[in-house]
Structures are given as C-alpha cells and as structure tokens.
A and B are shown apart, each in its own frame.
Chain A
Amino acid sequence: MTNARSNAVRAGAARGLLEFRGTFTNPTDLFGYLYMPVLFVVLGFFLAGEEVDGAATNYGAVTYSGGLVLMLLMLGTLAVAQVLAAEREDGTFLRAKALPHGMLGYGVAKAVHLLSMSAVAMAIIVVPGLFVVEGFGPRGWVGAVTLVWVCALGLLAVAPIGAVLGALISNPRAVGLMMIPIMALVMLSGVLFPLELLPDWVLTAARVTPVYWLGLGVRAGTLPADYAALELAGSWQLPVVAAVLAAWAVVGSLVALRVLRRMARRESGSRVQAAREKAMRRVL
C-alpha cells in the first residue's frame, strides 16, 4: 500500500516541523545551538589581526570557517546520536515502532528536524561572520552555492556515523564522551589550524575522513581563491570533495540502515522498562 507509505512520510514531515518549532521554545536546546557561533565570532574577531602568509586573508577567517565545520560535525554526529539514544531509552522510538509505517515516519521526522535545524544553525554562524569576521564569507554566487552543497552533502556524510553511534550506545549520557574522538578528528583534519604543523602520516590518515574534505569544501566556499594554494594539493579539489563526501554518505547510509534495522527489531516494552529502571538507579 504505497498510499500508507506516502501518508507516513507526510505525517513524519509534519512531526519534524513541529519538533523544529519546539526547539525554539526550549531554552536549553536553543543554548546548545547558539553557544558555538558566539564562541567562534569572538575567536574570529581576535584572530583577525594574524595575517596568513601568501593569501589575502587572516587566521580569524580560517578559524571561523573551522567553526562552521565543527558545528556541522556536531549536529551530524553528536546531536543525532544524542537524540537517538535518548529516544530509544525513553520509549519514543518504541511508540514509532508500534505504528504502521511508524519507523518510516520517525526517520523522515528526524531528517526534517536535522536539516531544518542545521540550516538555521548555519545561518546563525555565517551571517554574523559576514559582518564581524574580516575576510570570511562566500565570494559571490559561486562561493555561496559551493558552501550550500558542501554543507548539505557533508551533513549527509556524517549523519549516518551519528545514527550508528546512537544505535550502539545505550546510555544517552555516555554520548557526551564522543566529544573526545570527534575533537581529535577535527584537530587532525586541519579544520581549526593548518595541516603543515602535523606529521606526514597524519596527513595521509586525515584524507580518509569526511571531516578533512568537508573542511576543504567549506574553505572553498568561504575564503579567498588564493588561499587554495596553501591547501595540501594546492587547489580546492572540489570534484574530489564531492566524490569523497558522496561515498561516505552512500556507504554510511547503507551501514546505518542495517544497524538501525537491527536495533529497531530488538526494541520492546521490557527493554524500555529496563532502561527506565537503570536510569532511575543512576538518579538515586
């Protein structure tokens, strides 16, 4: 019954928008989305005096583009994993499972919520940057279009990683520990400072991760053209950025679907009950 599927997709989309609206009425959630942009505006402002050798820009702008990448990465991995782990524990996920095509609706809702929230978060970080951080910003329409597709594709590349982690971690409070490997990945991917400072084997390893390519794409969208000469390959390598991110998105989605299906099959009332009792004990 394809009618039932498309109906579930519509219901899921409506749910995603409702949750999106709900985020703005919740101060805690809102803070989670806002503190990073503020942090990077301050960083970008103070680093603006440090000129980059060989390019008409400064480290303030470079760091600020790194803030954008970090934000995307946090949304795609930490936020996704956090929501999934928490909603598995509290029974939200099981409720979806009890509905006809409920998992489809749930998935659509989460995707709509993630994409809309990411769009807002991007706007919150990019727009102030244009005014406050010297040397940061898309150069014309081409730069803006590059920024948009890199961000969208980058989110699709990292979100499956978050979904897998959210499916495997049963304690939502443990998701915060993922911060450590994620920050390490960010450090080693040349997102926050230039890669020349790092040893060769790190450079090689970095080029396997989606984070390096996401960072490269974002810099292509937000920094002047002559900065490209300072990249590892001496150019923006946009076709490679697209290919690597797309590959991560496709492979990641396939793996995530398998893991999520397996997780969904195992979900039941008594598992939620057990999680609840465990959480209660933690509180006491």
Chain B
Amino acid sequence: MTSTPTTRTSRAEAQATGAAGDTVIRARGLRMNYGSAEVLRGVDFTARRGEVVALLGPNGAGKTTTVEILEGFRKRSAGDVEVLGADPEHGGEDWRAGLGVVLQSWRDHGRWRVRDLLHHFGRFYAPYSTPGRVRPHDTDDLLARVGLAEHADQRINKLSGGQRRRLDVAIGLVGRPEVLFLDEPTAGFDPRARRDFHDLVHDIVDSDDTTVLLTTHDLDEAEKLADRILVLAGGAIVADGSVEQLSALVERDSEVSWSVDGRRQVHTTDSPARHVAELYAEHGEDLTDLRVSRASLEDVYMELVRRHESGDADEAAHEFAKGIR
C-alpha cells in the first residue's frame, strides 16, 4: 500500500473509538430498469462513517446509475436505499446539505471567476453550520487546498481541464459534506494531478470523517484510495472487501520467484508459504531474491470481468460473494 500511514492509523483509531461505526449509506435489493433493460438487478452494500469505498466495474455496469440514485438525482425501480438516514428520493433540502457531489463540469459558469463561484455555492451551506462542523469552508483556504489559490481571480473558461476538475472537487467539498460522491474523479488527470488528488481525499476524510463513494476505472486509484472495494458486474455487487480480501480470493494463483546460484526460477502455487518453507529446507542460505506476489486487484478484477463477459456472470457473482462472506 502506498497511501500515507498516518491516514490509516488515525482512521483505525476513529474506528476503535466507535465513532466510525455507524452506517451512512445502505442499499438493499436496489434495482433499476430502463424500459425492458435491467441495469441493476439487486445491489446490496453499506458504507460506514469515514469510510472510502470504491465502486469498480466495466462500462455500462451501472456505476453512475447507482451513484445518481444515492445522490437523489434518479428514481430507482425497486429496493431500499438510505443515505444519512433518509431515502434519497424524499431527502429534502436539509438532507442535501450533508451531501457533496462532484459533478463533471463542462462549460458551465464559464464567465464566473473561480473565487466568486466557490463563495456563491458556499453561501447555501451557512445555515447548516454547527460548532462541530463549521460550514461552509473558507473559500480561499479551500482553493489553496485544491491547489487553485493562484487562479482564484481567473475566469473559469480560462482554466485548464485539470484545474476545472479541481474546482469541481472544491465545489463538492465546500459545504463540508458528511458524504461525498465522486463519479470518475480523476478522468483526464496527469499522474501528478492524480497524486495530489489522492492526498486531498485522504486529507478530507481524515479531518472531516467524511464518507466517500467513488466510481473509477482505475484499479490503481481504487487500491490507493479505498478502504473497501465493490465490484459491480451484471447488475449486482459481485465482490465486496478490502484489496487484501479480494486478493485472497485468488491466492491459489500466487507466484513465488527466487534465485539459486544466480539462476532465476518462478513457480505458481496455491500454498506459497509451504512452497517457501520447502525451498528453504532444500537450499538454505543459497536461496536469494525471494519474492511472493499475490494476485493483484487487477488480476481479481480481470478474472471477474472475464467470467462475466463469457456469460458466467451469475456463477461468478455467486462464487465471489461466497468467498467474501
């Protein structure tokens, strides 16, 4: 894991004190049909306070649909959904004050200046300020946090794509949300901007105990950001767990590589520990360069999607769900 250790520690502390235990998002039997096409066929998952959950899945799997239903922007066909204790369909305006939505901007508000727009949106949250959660964020502080301080007086249509995206994130955060929805947050980012964005998400989750639900195609991003990963395929959640838990599902395919007398060797095994022990017993100190690599998230994901596309979706879903529970 490459994420900052401090983030992990403090979140673990929060969980240990029980503060992070309550469920903030809950979906049960969520279904969505467009005409006769079934996009979601019974989605079940939960997310706790302060948890970062990544929703992965191939194109058209229904990730955006799921997020839009949770945001209260789309009516579901069936099932129970609860976000911050309310049904998103009847959430109301006070409920909405607890949500942050990072939208994909295009050319809206092109003539506005960056600071003016962020300040304007922030104003709507002022009545929801509490001593424990001062709302909204100070405009200039937030601009500095997303790296837009020097562009504060610029017109939005003069920003680069990456800068606009940072502004989108700032707009999603300005009300200090309890739940933040990010749909494809880093699409079109260069590696540096992506790294900055990941730091920012860790930072806000840490300081505000925000629950984050993000959709992404980027497995690396999911692995770096998320405490838990959901894989959506065939209209249902087919895997739900930490990267370690998901990797464990395909542990039978672990790869052991080593060198003896300068000769490199590779062996694939379902019990790497036993194999390493046997190697050591055989070669002792001559055994060098030993590496055990478990299946990466990518391996798990590709396997899952492969089965899904070859028509074994239900079987795959069943198998993976069994593995997790």
Contacts and interface: CB of A to CB of B under 8 A. Distances in A.
A101 interface: yes
A18 interface: yes
Nearest to A104: B93
A3 B127 contact: yes
Main secondary structure of the interface of A (DSSP, over half): helix
A105 interface: yes
A102 B128 CA distance: 14
Contacts of A15: 120
B73 A97 contact: yes
Interface string A257-284: 0000000010111101100100000000
Nearest to A18: B116
Contacts of B68: 268-270
A25 B68 CA distance: 37
Given A92-B109, A100-B125, A272 B120 contact: no
A22 B74 CA distance: 33
- Name the interface size band of chain B: 35 or more
B171 A95 contact: yes
B96 A91 contact: no
Contacts of B96: 98-100, 102
A188 to B, nearest CB: 38
A41 B171 CA distance: 46
Interface string B164-206: 0000000100010000000100000000000000000000000
Contacts, number: 92
A23 to B, nearest CB: 10
Interface string B204-244: 00000000000000000000000000000000000000000
A4 B127 contact: yes
A203 B152 CA distance: 57
Contact of A100 (B65, B93, B116, B171): B93
Contacts of B121: 95, 99
B249 interface: no
Contacts of B73: 94, 97, 267-269
A231 interface: no
Nearest to B103: A269
Interface in B60-110: 64-65, 67-68, 71, 73-75, 93-94, 96-97, 99, 101, 103-109
Interface stretch (A6-14, A51-59, A136-144, A193-201): A6-14
A90 B108 CA distance: 5
A11 B136 CA distance: 14
Contacts of A14: 120, 123
A105 B126 CA distance: 14
A9 to B, nearest CB: 11
B123 A272 contact: no
A87 interface: yes
B111 interface: yes
Contacts of B280: none
B45 interface: no
Contact of A98 (B65, B74, B101, B123): B101
A7 B64 CA distance: 32
A84 to B, nearest CB: 13
A95 B124 CA distance: 12
A90 B120 contact: no
Contacts of B111: 22, 25-26
B93 A92 contact: no
B106 A91 contact: yes
Nearest to B97: A100
A91 B112 CA distance: 14
Contacts of B97: 4, 100
A25 B104 CA distance: 27
A99 to B, nearest CB: 4
B248 to A, nearest CB: 34
A27 B65 CA distance: 40
Contacts of A94: 73, 103
Contacts of A100: 93-94, 96-97, 124-125, 127-128, 175
A184 interface: no
A91 B74 CA distance: 16
A22 B126 CA distance: 25
A276 B103 CA distance: 13
Given A100-B93, A269-B68, A95 B103 contact: yes
A127 interface: no
A256 to B, nearest CB: 21
A171 to B, nearest CB: 15
Contacts of B94: 1, 4, 100
16 contacts: A7-B124, A7-B126, A18-B112, A22-B111, A90-B106, A94-B103, A95-B103, A95-B108, A98-B71, A98-B99, A102-B96, A269-B68, A269-B183, A270-B64, A273-B104, A276-B106
Interface of A: 1, 3-4, 7-8, 10-11, 14-15, 18, 22, 25-26, 87, 90-92, 94-95, 97-102, 105, 265, 267-270, 272-273, 276
Shortest 3 CB-CB contacts between residues of A and residues of B: A268-B73, A100-B97, A4-B127
